Structure 1
Amino acid sequence: MVIHYKCPNCGADMVFDSNSGKLSCGSCGRKDDIESFPKENILNEFSEGEAVEYHCKNCGAVILTDADTTATKCSFCGAGVVLADRLSGNLAPALVLPFTISKEQATEAFKTWCRNGRLTPKGFMTANRIKSITGMYVPFWLYDLHSAGSVDAVCTKVRTYTRGDYIYTETSYYDVHRGVDLTYRKVPADASEKMDDMLMDKLEPYDYRNLKEFNTPYLAGYIAEKYNYDDKELFPRIKQRVDKYVDSYIKSTTSQYTTTMIKRRNIDTNQKHAYYTLIPVWMVCYDYNKAEHIFAMNGQTGKIVGKPPISYKKVAAWFGGIAGVTFVALKSLALIFGGGF
């Protein structure tokens, strides 16, 4: 089923506006609250066949998508459409984190980020080769978890002192036990096979205080994907991540010791709840030196991650500058100490 949101004033298509948090009409400027949007202005059209071919309600053009797309735009008239039949049943998100950064803001933020690249080529820093910038809702699972268990360790305290002409080192050993009872809320893991996991992890953190109950108007004007992995399939990955949090917590409780060696570790992490959530990401395709570079931007905070090209001339100059400063510093010390340095 294809969904269009029509302006009650002029009949034009409305899209979600990241600045106001409302449905907005680009034609007459009207804005409507999502919760109170008139149902008579929501137009539905059922798809044909096996739900892989849809028709735009505006121009009648065929909308072809892959099987994972849940929201897109008509290639002919540009209307934002939501494919509601792919957002029902087990595929219905529980929560959505709306975009708070507009396309214009994302473009300017990316240009600023490029200009701040001290080691990028000069041509790259002009930021005038943005090939495309796409607002996308990426499917995530947010996990509530509980970790319980016990840890036994051998810790040491090392003390050094001087008596007469001798320096002594004293090492004391301690048997240390820690009981662990930790709760984690909304630990994220992206559930799309198309997205790079490391790239998505680096976009964190998100402010989950702005989470909303899912409603299809939030997707209007953006692209959205459905999950490829359910919460059970992703749990081993999230457990591995939480194990690092647990180890870090245990380490923080033994900071008064010089060294800590774990003898026995028994941690049981259980999933209490998982929320299927759509997270906002701007995907930037940048054309430089006959190659495409892909960057991702947090659609809520503007944080950018990706690998920009590196100017090896700038790298060499940078290291040369450090070497020169170091040489000058050593020469100055030699003069101060009369050449004895």
Structure 2
Amino acid sequence: MILHYKCPSCGSEMRFDSESGDLSCQSCGKHENIENYPEELVTARFSVDEANEYHCENCGAVLLTTAETAATSCSYCGAAVVIADRLSGQLVPAKVIPFTISKEESMAAFQKWCRKGLLTPKGFMTADRIKSITGMYVPFWLFDLNSKVQVSAECTKVRTYTQGEYIYTETQYYDAFRDINLDYLKIPVDASVKMNDELMDKLEPYPYDQLKDFKTPYLAGYIAEKYNFTDEELLPRAKDKISSYIESYIASTFSGYHSTHYKTKHIDTRNVKSNYVLLPVWMISYDYNKSDYTFAMNGQTGKVVGKPPISTGKVTAWFSGIAVGTFFALKCVSFMMGGGFW
């Protein structure tokens, strides 16, 4: 089933408007509140192993998509379409964070970000080689995790004091035990096989107070994909994302000791709840010096991540400046201590 949102006033196409948060008509400017929009999701399923053929309800053209695509645009008339049966049953997202940054705003923000690159080539900083900017709703699982931690350790406190002509060092040994209960809420893990995990992780944090109940009109005008990995498959990644925080918290509970030797450490992390959500991402393709670069922008906060090219000349000049500055500083110190400047 294809969902194509038509304006009730003039019949033209309606798309999600990031500024107002409504469906907006591209022709007459009419707005419709999504929260009050009547929406029924069908329960039909589809094969996840093959591409499926659908027809655009606007012009009748064939929409040939991959099995993961849940929202796209018609290649012929440009109409925004949502493939509803790919957002049904177990594939229905629980929540969505809508875009608040428009395509024009994302373009301006990216150009501003490029100009801040202190070590990037001058030609790259002009940001005039953008090939495409695509708004995508990326599938994520949000995990609420609980960690029960039990740690036993041998700790020491060291005291040094002087008595007469002697210096004494006194070491006291303690057997310490910690029974810790930790809760971590809304740990995000991207669930798309096409997305670079490193890029998606660096886009965090998202403003989770902006999560809204999922409705398909939010996807109109953007690309959206269903998840490739279940929450069970991604649970190890979620656990790994909080592992350093758990270790840091354990260490903080032994802060009063001079040394700590862990004898046993048992960490049991379990998934309390996981929600399938869609989060907004602008994917930016940039062509520079016959090479393609991919950047991602948080569609809510405007944060840009990616690896720009590095200018060899700027790096050389930067290190040369440091070397000259260090040499000059050392000579000044030598001069003030009575040595010659040269």
What is the TM-score normalised by the length of structure 2? 0.92
Q: Which residue number in structure 1 is paired with residue 79 of structure 2?
A: 79
Q: Which residue number in structure 2 is paired with residue 3 of structure 1?
A: 3
Q: Which residue number in structure 2 is paired with residue 237 of structure 1?
A: 237
- 1:165-216 per-position Cα deviation (integer Å, ceiling 9, x unaligned): 9877665443322111011111111111111111111110011000011100
Matches of residues 72-111 of structure 1 in structure 2 within 5 Å? 72-111=72-111
- How far apart are the structure 1 equivalents of 2:173 and 2:29? 72
- How far apart are the structure 1 equivalents of 2:221 and 2:161? 70
Bigger drift between 233-242 and 185-194 goes to 233-242
- How far apart are the structure 2 equivalents of 1:162 and 1:282? 66
Cα shift at 1:146: 1.1
- How far apart are the structure 2 equivalents of 1:178 and 1:236? 24
- 1:28-49 per-position Cα deviation (integer Å, ceiling 9, x unaligned): 111110022367xx9x9x9999
Structure 2 CA distance for partners of 1:211 and 1:321, relative to 1, 3 Å:
same
Q: Which residue number in structure 2 is paired with residue 129 of structure 1?
A: 129
Bigger drift between 284-293 and 257-266 goes to 257-266
Matches of residues 207-246 of structure 1 in structure 2 within 5 Å? 207-246=207-246
Do the aligned partners of 1:280 and 1:298 also contact (CA within 8 Å) in 2?
yes
Matches of residues 17-32 of structure 1 in structure 2 within 5 Å? 17-32=17-32
Two-structure CA RMSD over aligned residues (Å) = 2.5
Bigger drift between 27-36 and 162-171 goes to 162-171
Bigger drift between 143-152 and 74-83 goes to 143-152
- How far apart are the structure 2 equivalents of 1:196 and 1:2? 29
- 1:274-324 per-position Cα deviation (integer Å, ceiling 9, x unaligned): 100001111000000011100011111111111000001100110111111
- 1:248-286 per-position Cα deviation (integer Å, ceiling 9, x unaligned): 211222233344332211111111111000011110000
Letter in 2 for 1:318: W
- How far apart are the structure 1 equivalents of 2:164 and 2:324? 43
Letter in 1 for 2:337: F
- Secondary structure (helix, strand or coil) at the match of 2:36 reads coil
Q: Return 5+ residue gaps in structure 2 as ranges.
A: none
- Secondary structure (helix, strand or coil) at the match of 1:54 reads strand
Structure 2 CA distance for partners of 1:209 and 1:328, relative to 1, 3 Å:
same
Bigger drift between 322-331 and 158-167 goes to 158-167
Cα shift at 1:340: 9.3
Q: Does residue 322 of structure 1 match 2:337?
A: no
Cα shift at 1:246: 1.2
- How far apart are the structure 2 equivalents of 1:149 and 1:300? 35
Q: Which residue number in structure 2 is paired with residue 191 of structure 1?
A: 191
Between the two proteins, the alignment pairs up a number of residues equal to: 337
- How far apart are the structure 1 equivalents of 2:323 and 2:168? 39
Q: Return 5+ residue gaps in structure 1 as ranges.
A: none
- How far apart are the structure 1 equivalents of 2:96 and 2:6? 22
Cα shift at 1:134: 0.4
- How far apart are the structure 2 equivalents of 1:185 and 1:26? 39
Q: Which residue number in structure 2 is paired with residue 338 of structure 1?
A: 338
Letter in 2 for 1:16: F
Structure 2 CA distance for partners of 1:63 and 1:169, relative to 1, 3 Å:
farther
Give % identity.
64
Q: Does residue 114 of structure 1 match 2:84?
A: no
Letter in 2 for 1:179: D
- Secondary structure (helix, strand or coil) at the match of 1:335 reads helix
Q: Which residue number in structure 1 is paired with residue 268 of structure 2?
A: 268
Q: Which residue number in structure 2 is paired with residue 297 of structure 1?
A: 297
Q: Does residue 282 of structure 1 match 2:289?
A: no
Letter in 2 for 1:180: I
Do the aligned partners of 2:144 and 2:272 also contact (CA within 8 Å) in 1?
yes
- 1:71-115 per-position Cα deviation (integer Å, ceiling 9, x unaligned): 000111111100001000111111111111111111111000000
- How far apart are the structure 1 equivalents of 2:14 and 2:140? 26
- How far apart are the structure 1 equivalents of 2:158 and 2:133? 56
- Secondary structure (helix, strand or coil) at the match of 2:271 reads strand
Structure 2 CA distance for partners of 1:291 and 1:166, relative to 1, 3 Å:
farther
- How far apart are the structure 2 equivalents of 1:165 and 1:120? 63
Q: Does residue 249 of structure 1 match 2:212?
A: no
- 1:137-163 per-position Cα deviation (integer Å, ceiling 9, x unaligned): 010100111111311123344556678
Letter in 2 for 1:105: E
- How far apart are the structure 1 equivalents of 2:121 and 2:45? 48
- Secondary structure (helix, strand or coil) at the match of 1:204 reads coil
